[in-house]
Structure 1
Amino acid sequence: MFKSILVPTDGSPMAEKTFGPAIEAAKTNNGSIVGISVAHPFVYPRPTEGTEIPNYKKKYEQDALRLPKQHVQRLAKEAQQQGLQCETTTPCSVDPAGEIVAAVERFGCNVIFIASHGRRCINKLLPGSETQRVLADSPAPVLVFR
């Protein structure tokens, strides 16, 4: 049923709660795991005329990718210990939900296992709920863990 499972992680304990169920589902269905963690790109203000900004973008993005790579490597290590294939990706984007949705098609995933902090009432309407955006835009089924 679930042959390729996309597992987004931000390194939080809540996100890591999806690792076990995703690995178990992949084992049961002879499937595989794809781990994704999105890094934030270098953003800086527009310089005024005559002002120079040193080019820190490359160094910043290398540093920004360090943690997301560690997050997906934890997932990959757990999956490999269970004898599963685990591919990882760490795109750099200001739109994490968009990257997660795009990864479904890019990697041929047929389900997303994602964590949610379970915001209620007015907090649900506030911007920042990546899980909510993934639920709205995903072409594949989404299992939400709390």
Structure 2
Amino acid sequence: MFKRILVPTDGSDITKKALASAVALAKSVNAKLYTLSVKEPFPYSAISEMQPTPPQEFFDAQERIAAARVKEVRDTAELSGLQCDAQTVEALHPWEAIIDHAKRHECDLIVMASHGRRGVTALLLGSETQKVLTHTNIPVLVVR
């Protein structure tokens, strides 16, 4: 069945629900977990003197946040007796990074959370989960 399960994290409470489902599933089929946190790229401006935060300070803060997110996932997995490969990556579009990561590590399932928005709200806001569903051929388990 599933041998490599990717559970991306943004640190939100709803992602923790997806993590719980991913851990339970991975444990039941003896799969390895992978986790990924996507860091935002530095918002460069045409006027360099107008930067509110120096680039290195921004990169360091992004890495600290992302590293804490994947550490939480890895710790949760390890408490359940599962192996978990945890990485951070910088990307403009998180959904692309998630799909690329899943392909690179030959994951056969992606477990993601959804806020369950519908109608115009879902259309206007979109979601990384929706974009992953639309652009990948890897099975996606959506947890609400």
Could you say which residue in structure 1 is the equivalent of 2:19? Answer: 19
Give the TM-score of the pair, scaled to structure 1: 0.91
**Unaligned stretches of 5+ residues in structure 2:** none
Q: Tell me, what secondary structure is at the counterpart of 2:44?
A: coil
Q: Tell me, what secondary structure is at the counterpart of 2:14?
A: helix
**Runs (4+) of structure 1 moved beyond 3 Å?**
51-55
Could you say which residue in structure 2 is the equivalent of 1:6? Answer: 6
Aligned-pair RMSD on alpha carbons?
1.7
Bigger mean CA offset, 52-61 vs 135-144: 52-61
Task: Measure the CA separation in 1 of the matches of 2:106 and 2:121.
Answer: 33
Bigger proportion of residues as strand: 2
Q: Tell me, what secondary structure is at the counterpart of 1:94?
A: coil
Query: Cα deviations across residues 116-136 of structure 1 (Å, max 9, x unaligned)?
Result: 111110012114411110000
Task: Measure the CA separation in 2 of the matches of 1:75 and 1:130.
Answer: 19
Could you say which residue in structure 2 is the equivalent of 1:69? Answer: 67
Could you say which residue in structure 2 is the equivalent of 1:60? Answer: 58
Query: Cα deviations across residues 19-78 of structure 1 (Å, max 9, x unaligned)?
Result: 12111111111111001111111112113xxx6578922221111121121111111001
Return the index of the structure with the highest Cα Rg.
1
Does the 8 Å contact 2:39/2:91 carry over to 1? Answer: yes
> 2:135 aligned with 1:137, yes or no?
yes
Aligned residues: 143
Task: Measure the CA separation in 1 of the matches of 2:58 and 2:37.
Answer: 17
Could you say which residue in structure 2 is the equivalent of 1:83? Answer: 81
Task: Measure the CA separation in 1 of the matches of 2:46 and 2:12.
Answer: 33
Give the TM-score of the pair, scaled to structure 2: 0.92
Does the 8 Å contact 2:21/2:143 carry over to 1? Answer: no
Q: Sequence identity of aligned pairs in percent?
A: 38
- 1:139 is displaced (CA, Å) by 2.4
Bigger mean CA offset, 101-110 vs 51-60: 51-60
Task: Measure the CA separation in 2 of the matches of 1:75 and 1:8.
Answer: 9
Task: Measure the CA separation in 2 of the matches of 1:96 and 1:12.
Answer: 15
